């Protein structure tokens, strides 16, 4: 179910990430910074990404609340489909790191990797079912041309069987990855396991 | 046009009121609603050190101009005018005329904004390191990156909700 994928520079491998500027040291972090790290992510204290963003703790705190509520809240769109939306956005924006993380999560939740192989190969035609294709199409449109999304874009999702709460969850998932990709792409770079040892 | 009762920027710009189905759907995810507004409040907090509120608003305005996102463009331009910002600079930013911006610091900040909004994969290490070279501290760089990334989120949220509301009204 989770065979290695390496297509057009995108992978489902577990990657590292390093910041290009100085991160906050745990030795000198303020109590507020420590609290925000603890509520942001289980591994935030050993992650360059969180240790960099915690230079501005209140902003990170709000971002983490939004991110976690969008990706993990119960009900609404199945979590695997939120991860599919996140992976499509990351593929379109060229964020190899985000794509690897969320491809893995999709595979774990959906117990298949067919859609991921398609998204990495050619996102514009990806999706193994009409519902998946509708999710992928909308994710691309809202990422690439937000000004052109209209009532018809929403109708297509409804025609594919999505309810309004599910559509809202998809909009949130796509939008939050416009945010996440821009941080991951622009503040540091992925570390590839095979290159690490060389 | 500012509705004093409505302190939620996204609801106000989409024109969502409690009677709307789209409003009700959105507010079922109340944590996201609160953290979206909380992020905006945090990013434009006047007590935040570093980038001035005016600099932050120029960045938000420019990001919306480039997207394009008309409602948010108008919103951020109006906030700049209310703050008494230089109308000539507002015009330059609105027209995308970066070459006319005299301040090297603001020029560097807006150039970074341009790359992150239009082609984020092009914003490499060199693009980031231009910011400390222009005198920005690391916490200022974090504020700037979070701000540009947040506006990228906000414009898509507004666009998606506007489309949901448009479908609701056409039904």
Q: Per-residue pLDDT tens for B47-66?
A: 998 999 999 999 999 999 99
> With contacts defined as CB-CB under 8 Å, which chain B residues touch A95?
120-121
The per-residue pLDDT for range B91-109, each reduced to its tens digit, is 999 999 999 999 999 999 9
3-class state of residue B70 by DSSP: helix
Average the pLDDT over A174-184 and give the result.
Answer: 97
> With contacts defined as CB-CB under 8 Å, which chain B residues touch A17?
none
The pLDDT, as a whole number, for residue B2 is 45
Question: What does CATH list as the number for B49-162?
Answer: 1.20.1290.10
> With contacts defined as CB-CB under 8 Å, which chain A residues touch B150?
63, 179
Is the pLDDT confidence value at A10 over 70?
yes
pTM for this model (two decimals): 0.95
Please, are residues A87 and A119 in contact by the beta-carbon 8 Å criterion?
Answer: yes
Structure tokens at A106: 């999709």
3-class state of residue A6 by DSSP: strand
Side-chain half-sphere exposure of B147, counting CA atoms within 13 A: 34
Please, are residues A89 and A138 in contact by the beta-carbon 8 Å criterion?
Answer: no
- Percent of chain A topping pLDDT 90: 95
Angle at the Cα of B114 from the Cα atoms of B61 and B51, rounded to 5 degrees:
60
Look at residues B169, B23, B32, B37 and name the one whose alpha carbon lies nearest to residue A82.
B32
What span, in angstroms and rounded, lies between the C-alpha atoms of B156 and B37?
15
Structure tokens at A115: 């859609």
Cis bond before residue B68 (omega within 30° of 0): yes
The pLDDT, as a whole number, for residue B49 is 87
What span, in angstroms and rounded, lies between the C-alpha atoms of A102 and B83?
41
Which of B25, B146, B167 minimises the CB distance to A59? Answer: B146
Is the pLDDT confidence value at A93 over 50?
yes
Who contacts B99 (Cβ-Cβ below 8 Å, separation ≥6)? none
Average the pLDDT over A66-81 and give the result.
Answer: 96
> With contacts defined as CB-CB under 8 Å, which chain B residues touch A66?
31-32, 35-36, 38-39
Please, are residues B27 and A168 in contact by the beta-carbon 8 Å criterion?
Answer: no
Kindly identify which residue of chain B lies nearest to residue A186, measuring between CA atoms.
B123
Contact A168 B26 (CB under 8 A): yes
| Phi–psi pair at A18, nearest 5 degrees | -125, 145
Domains of chain A, CATH where assigned: 16-72+189-196 (no CATH), 76-180 (1.20.1290.10)
Pairs of CB atoms within 8 A across A/B: 165
The pLDDT, as a whole number, for residue A1 is 52
Average the pLDDT over B153-163 and give the result.
Answer: 98
What span, in angstroms and rounded, lies between the C-alpha atoms of A158 and A152?
10
Average the pLDDT over A142-166 and give the result.
Answer: 98
Please, are residues B67 and B156 in contact by the beta-carbon 8 Å criterion?
Answer: no
Who contacts B5 (Cβ-Cβ below 8 Å, separation ≥6)? none
The per-residue pLDDT for range A20-60, each reduced to its tens digit, is 999 999 999 999 999 999 999 999 999 999 999 999 999 99
Angle at the Cα of B135 from the Cα atoms of A189 and B67, rounded to 5 degrees:
60
Contact A55 B139 (CB under 8 A): yes
Whether the complex's predicted ipTM is more than 0.90 is answered with yes
The pLDDT, as a whole number, for residue A197 is 46
Contact B160 A94 (CB under 8 A): no
Is the pLDDT confidence value at B1 over 90?
no
Count Cβ atoms below 10 Å from residue B104 Cβ, excluding itself.
Answer: 10
Contact A21 B125 (CB under 8 A): no
What is the torsion angle, in degrees rounded to the nearest 10, for the CA atoms of residue B119, residue B125, residue B127 and residue B130? 170
């Amino acid at each position: 179910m989770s065979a290695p994928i390496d297509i057009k520079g995108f992978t489902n491998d577990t990657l590292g990430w390093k910041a290009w500027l100085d991160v906050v040291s745990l030795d000198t972090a303020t109590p507020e910074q420590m609290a925000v790290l603890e509520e942001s992510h289980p591994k935030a204290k050993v992650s360059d990404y969180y240790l960099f963003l915690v230079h501005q703790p209140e902003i990170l705190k709000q971002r983490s609340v939004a991110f976690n509520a969008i990706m993990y809240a119960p009900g609404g769109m199945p979590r695997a489909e939120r991860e599919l939306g996140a992976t499509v956005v990351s593929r379109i924006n060229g964020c190899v790191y985000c794509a690897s993380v969320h491809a893995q999560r999709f595979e774990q939740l959906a117990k298949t990797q067919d859609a991921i192989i398609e998204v990495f190969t050619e996102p514009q035609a990806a999706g193994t079912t009409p519902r998946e294709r509708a999710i992928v199409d909308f994710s691309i449109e809202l990422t690439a041309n937000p000004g052109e999304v209209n009532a018809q874009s929403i109708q297509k999702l409804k025609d594919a069987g999505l309810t309004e709460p599910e559509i809202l969850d998809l909009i949130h998932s796509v939008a939050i990855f416009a945010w996440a990709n821009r941080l991951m792409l622009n503040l540091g770079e992925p570390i590839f396991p095979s290159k690490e040892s060389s | 046009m500012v509705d004093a009762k409505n302190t939620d920027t996204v609801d106000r710009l989409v024109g969502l009121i409690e009677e709307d189905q789209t409003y009700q759907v959105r507010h079922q995810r109340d944590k996201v609603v609160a953290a979206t507004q909380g992020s905006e409040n945090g990013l434009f907090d006047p007590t935040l050190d570093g980038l001035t509120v005016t600099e932050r608003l120029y960045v938000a305005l420019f990001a919306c101009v480039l997207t394009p996102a008309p409602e948010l463009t108008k919103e951020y331009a109006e906030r700049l005018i209310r703050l008494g910002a230089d109308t000539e600079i507002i015009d330059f930013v609105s027209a995308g005329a970066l070459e006319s911006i005299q301040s090297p610091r603001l020029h560097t900040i807006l150039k970074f904004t341009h790359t992150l909004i239009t082609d984020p994969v092009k914003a490499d290490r060199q693009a980031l390191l231009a910011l400390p070279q222009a005198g920005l501290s690391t916490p200022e760089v974090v504020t700037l990156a979070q701000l540009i990334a947040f506006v990228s989120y906000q414009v898509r949220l507004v666009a998606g909700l506007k489309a949901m509301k448009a479908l609701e009204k056409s039904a």
